[in-house]
Chains A and B, each alone.
Chain A
Amino acid sequence: MSMTTIDPILEGRRSQPSQLIEVLQDVQEICGYIPQDAMKTVAKELGVPLMEVYRVVNFYKAFTLKPRGKNVFTICTGTACHVRGSDLLIDQVKGQLKVEPGDTTKDGLFTVESVNCLGACALAPIVVQNGSYLDHMTPAKLRKIIEKTRETKKKKEALNA
């Protein structure tokens, strides 16, 4: 992560250890994960031991140490979603993409995550695709979305070739 990217994030927060989580949130938002060099810079600039930065990154679910894929599917597994069959959605992606929640496909096209509740329980089960909420999801709907994403990628590749 270059200094030009991290500089605006650190602006007005330098030497303030209490800003650690906020700074990391912004890094995660911009990079999609927390790169190692960003942790070192943040540790130095905020005056927090690198060990503590790593501990915070590890503790909170909002932070990931691995880069994420182009399409991030977040499956809500809150109680309301569970009762309405979010397990089926997990099975669907496990079967179709051959990855476990938290992992990224080998081609880097999909990352699947599960979250404990997104607070849109009335529309359960919920899946979030790159920030947009998809309500009343079923395995069939999810399968089609994944297929469509794959097709779009293939078409793009064909055009580029």
Chain B
Amino acid sequence: MPKLNHCSDLEALRQKLQEDRKCIQSTIIIPNGTCCQASNSPAVINAIRKELARQGIDKNVQVHLTGCHGFCEQEPMILFEPGNLIYCHVTPEDAKEIVARTVKNGEIIDRLLYTDPVSGKKFRTETEIPFYQAQDRQLLAYNKWVDPCSIEDYIAVGGYKALAKTLTGIAPKTVIEEIKSSGLRGRGGGGFPTGRKWAEARSVPEDEKYVVCNADEGDPGAYMDRCVLESNPHLVIEGMMIGAWAVGARQGYIYVRNEYPLAVQHARLAVKRARELGLLGENILGSPFSFDVDVARGGGAFVCGESTALMTSLEGKVGEPRPKDIHTVKEGLWNKPSVLNNVETWANVPSIIVNGSGWFASKGTKGSKGTKIFALTGQVKNTGLVEIAMGTTLHDIIFKIGGGPKNGKAIKAVQTGGPSGGCLPVSKFDIPVDFDTLYETGSMMGSGGMVVMDEGTCMVDVAKYFLKFLQDESCGKCVPCRVGVDRMLEIVTDITEGRGSREQISLLQELAETVAETSLCGLGKTASNPVLSTMRYFADEYAAHVDEKRCPAGVCKELIHYDILAEKCTGCGVCLRSCPYDAIKGVKKKVHAIEEQICLKCGICVTECKYDAIAVG
């Protein structure tokens, strides 16, 4: 394809691509992101292609591979357009029937339709499904139409329109004003106003500046950025280009987690394609603006999600944060002014430019505008990526979209914001989700992880889990985080192992506050949040561990024991075979027994027993 030398070239290409697409009569859309591939989508794709060819209709039907559609629990999915028909949990064995009945004759295969786990009702189209209906999908809506490996797809749905609009008539200062008045705040965790960040970087009189995309999404339980970058990389690149134009940068970097191989691959391919079309490089679309992007892989260090650490890592060094007395917008990467935003923030920029700041600001709450993507996971029926307008309540997200508890156990908490956030109890589920309200209630939005916990989760154990995570990931540069997290973990471990005392709880509180006040970087400052929020809202669970030496959820190994109930045990032997430590003894059809000295209380036998014959005491 020839290079695009002018905005009119881009528009002509868009029109041609749109015309070409009008000729396609029937499309089978198959999502093929990381989650989809984990659910065996490549085998489904192969089977469908083979069947289309075998039944002789491969010329009339287009198979369109896209990124993630968000409803990961139902993968592998297939969508049929026109018609919006959706099939869930498709297997390669279904391909023959799908092609013969649905594709050829327009019949609907009932068993492959989505069944709502709440009402038991079946739904034919994607838009009818309650999971999608309760959302406001702006960024994720593109994923359905865009093959992440095809720049043509992105251009056909209106891609790079915002760039062309910017380059032909919006001065950098006006772009910044537009972003400021949209009210866009950083989606990575801090919630800093994006326009202000850009304005500060612009005001520094330096020739060399950088824009950086933070795709080092290390928060466990969050994968929004992976999905956006993996499914629609050009959207992110276009956002970065507009940012670069606004602040005066010529070079950009995308720093991606190495644990996201598909995102790395798609981002690299997108950069290559954009360069081939002249959308990256010198004099983009014939304008004086020149800009290029490189993709760098992270090394698997959580702390590198922090701005200063990320930039040090980009320089090829050990990713330790540095004091922020001088902001990165003044002295960042290679000591040059640098604007760092995360994937989702960059992805919001093009639509603000195209639709105007008023459109963006019309969604959301007073202090938090627009939509936000959350990764809804844990013990809910519908797990996946959820995009909602800011201000939607936790209750709506967890019950309307998530469909409520998964295993029949009552939901008791939701963890938001990853290791920097906190756990909120059911009594707080009516709060609107936005930056400020979550912060006031003792948690934070973070990048958007939302892990739902039920009665089978011990909240003290959750605090221990995050402290272990932070101990493991602390870079060790500053004492409060390195030593403080260690000591907090020691105390929480004592509590979960039955050695806790009342004095330790107050010491834990004091330590947590000190670590929060004195740590060097944002990760240390927020490291106490999981402890403080669980102590605040689940004090009774701490009390049960300390005073009664009891774990109400039956999780903490030192405080529980397993018993085989003689009246329920059938002697089937499943537990005996499943025990990795050979702690269960017994003969067939006779009641089995657990040898306490050998048992390490892993609980595998409980999950394996079909007769509920193993009790946790």
Contacts and interface: CB of A to CB of B under 8 A. Distances in A.
B245 to A, nearest CB: 25
Given A78-B220, A117-B222, A83 B378 contact: yes
A123 B221 contact: no
Nearest to B384: A122
B221 A85 contact: no
Interface string A90-108: 0111111000000000000
Contacts of B415: 79
Contact of A25 (B299, B376, B452, B607): B299
A88 interface: yes
Contacts of A126: 38
B299 A143 contact: no
Given A84-B378, A122-B375, A138-B607, A117 B318 contact: no
Interface in B572-617: 578-581, 600, 602-604, 607-608
Given A56-B318, A116-B302, A139 B604 contact: yes
| Interface SS of A by simple majority | helix
Interface of B: 34-35, 37-39, 72-73, 75, 217-223, 226, 257-260, 296-302, 313-319, 375-379, 383-385, 415, 418, 449, 451-453, 457, 465-466, 469, 472-473, 475, 578-581, 600, 602-604, 607-608
B259 A117 contact: yes
Interface stretch (A2-10, A12-20, A151-159): A12-20
A87 interface: yes
Nearest to A85: B607
Contacts of A63: 299
Interface of A: 16-22, 24-25, 48, 52, 55-56, 59-63, 77-85, 87-88, 91-96, 115-124, 126, 133-135, 138-140, 143
B34 A119 contact: yes
B451 A95 contact: no
Given A21-B296, A21-B313, A91-B604, A123 B72 contact: yes
Given A80-B451, A91-B600, A95-B580, A120 B38 contact: yes
Given A55-B318, A59-B318, A117 B220 contact: yes
A109 B38 CA distance: 23
A18 B315 contact: yes
Contacts of A18: 314-316
A122 B73 contact: yes
B472 A116 contact: yes
A127 B227 CA distance: 19
30 contacts: A22-B316, A55-B318, A59-B301, A59-B318, A59-B319, A60-B298, A60-B301, A78-B220, A79-B221, A80-B220, A82-B220, A83-B457, A85-B603, A88-B607, A91-B580, A94-B580, A95-B580, A96-B580, A115-B259, A116-B218, A116-B473, A117-B218, A119-B34, A119-B223, A119-B257, A123-B73, A126-B38, A133-B38, A135-B35, A140-B604
B37 A140 contact: no
A61 B35 CA distance: 23
Contacts of A122: 35, 72-73, 375-377, 383-385
Nearest to A83: B378
A25 B37 CA distance: 23
A101 to B, nearest CB: 11
Contacts of B38: 120, 123, 126, 133-135
Given A56-B317, A61-B301, A83 B218 contact: no
